[in-house]
Amino acid sequence: MPDLVLHRGRENSVLRRHPWIFSGAVQRLNGNPASGESVRVLDSHGHVLGYAAWSPASQIRARMWSFGADIPIDRAFLQRRIDAAQEWRASIVDAAQTNAYRLISSEADGLPGLIVDQYDSVLVCQFLSAGAEYQREHILDILQERFPSALLYERSDTDAREKEGLPPRSGACRTVDPTETIMIVENGLRFHVDVRNGHKTGFYLDQRDNRALFRRYCRDADVLNCFSYTGGFAVAALSGGARQVTDVDVSTEALRLAEENVRGNGFDTSRYAQIEGDVFHFLRSCRDSRKQFDVIVLDPPKFAASASQLERAARGYKDINLLALKLLKPGGLLFTFSCSGHMTEPLFRKIVSDAAVDAEREVHVLSLMTQAADHPVALHIPESWYLKGLLCRVD
């Protein structure tokens, strides 16, 4: 097996069990591994630190599969990791109420670059790193064995593949294509999901618990759902007894599915409205017309894809939170989120605090929110805690 030797002092992150080895940490490579092939990781004194997947095109030059022990990275290793991930989900997901969840969550499940989301009988896979790509056939074999009746569909079409020197790829894996939309159940509510073309793998599964919490605060409320996508928070609000719900999104197709989801759950569509357009512009128009709401949700897409974009992202988060705070009635509630991994919780809290000062509103945090438990946070991998949310009362 090829050896990857680190510069002196650059082994500390690996000893803390962080799986990423950046190019600047590499002293030398003994051997000529193919992209994604496993390498043995050594410190500058020759001590074995573990085993990683080699990625010559990425700034993250290697991603650790295992630490310390001499564990071969083979089909049996992958099977153990996948089985452990499946057992964990079975213990935390109420199958009677929910049939869609994240089955494998990349580094947080010890499988760097591999995402698998289960939508009823469809498994949507993303192979986002050189290592996951190299092991793709083994992984698909295991998934077919463990889920013999499932359809496998691939959505390896994100920017992460490009950074790994891999071309985008999507389509059925060894099975027929799934139907145009899949019906799932989340917390007893039904949703149409487009796994072929939707955001991420089709649905924001990580917000499941937050939608359940949100549902409890919507009775008789006038609710504004910004960046609404396919209406997950809207359906939750209506199921919680909201008086009126308005979805705002730029996507015609997302809003079409949102309306189907409202109708599919049997709600009165006279209580539901849609605005197709830019959220920032809509919020400013509401401010100018003095429109107010009881509850507002801000669940924007990732504003910071890299650390270099963080400053600009902070301005965007402050802008939408400032506008939303001005639109809430006294005693109103703001559910505000950031899904940018580079945005830390303290920084996000400060941004919302600064927006509250500028809006001249008294704001109290009622709850901190994060991703659902099937999107686990590994304490030794800060990047795995990507979704931050605040439930705020605004006076």
Catalytic residue (one of 125, 173, 218, 339) = 339
Long-range contacts of 175-184 (CB under 8 A, 24+ apart): 175/150, 175/151, 176/151, 177/151, 177/153, 178/122, 178/151, 178/153, 181/257, 182/119, 182/120, 182/122, 183/120, 183/264, 184/99, 184/100, 184/119, 184/120
Q: Where are the alpha helices (DSSP H) in the chain?
A: 12-15, 75-92, 130-134, 136-146, 159-163, 208-215, 232-239, 252-264, 279-288, 310-327, 345-359
Q: At residue 383, what is the residue type? A: E
Instruction: Using the CB atoms, write b or e for 232-265: b if 16+ within 10 Å.
Output: bbbbbbbbbebebbbbbbebeebbebbbbbbeeb
Instruction: List C-alpha distances in Å: 363 to 318, 353, 355, 367, 392.
Output: 15, 8, 10, 12, 6
- Respond yes or no: is residue 339 known to be catalytic: yes
Q: Which tokens in the block code for residue 365?
A: 């945090």
State the catalytic residues.
339
